[in-house]
Amino acid sequence: MAKDDNDITRKKDLKIFATKKDLKNLEKSILHQVGEMLSGVISYIDKKHDETFQYIDKKHKETMHQFHIISEDTKHDAMGTKKDEISVMKDKQKNHGSRIKRLEHHTGLIAA
């Protein structure tokens, strides 16, 4: 009878342990779940990649717009400086002093 008790115990012990088929099914299930998780991570990364490029493109356009504004302002400043320089050069004419005196008398800045 002792032998029969051992056989029954061994059969119960074997039922506790998973069979090779169970292990293969578990492996497939785990690999499938990992694949789904990786697919989700990859789609998230792709989404963030696209959002990042859209943000960079938007900032590039804003930066170029600001650059054009600044360069246009600089151009107009340079043109204004050139115009001021020309008007100063014209003020160096011979009758410059008499013109200033006439303006001062007219405005009353100098007592006649």
What is the model's pLDDT at position 76? 85
* 31 belongs to a structural domain: no
* 21 belongs to a structural domain: no
Q: How many CA atoms lie within 13 A of 83 on its CB side?
A: 6
* 45 belongs to a structural domain: no
* 77 belongs to a structural domain: yes
Separation CA 1–CA 17 (nearest Å): 25
What is the model's pLDDT at position 11? 66
**80 vs 44, higher pLDDT:** 44
Total domains present in the chain: 1
* 46 belongs to a structural domain: no
* 89 belongs to a structural domain: yes
* Segments forming the whole domain that contains residue 89: 64-112
* 104 belongs to a structural domain: yes
* 44 belongs to a structural domain: no
What is the model's pLDDT at position 32? 95
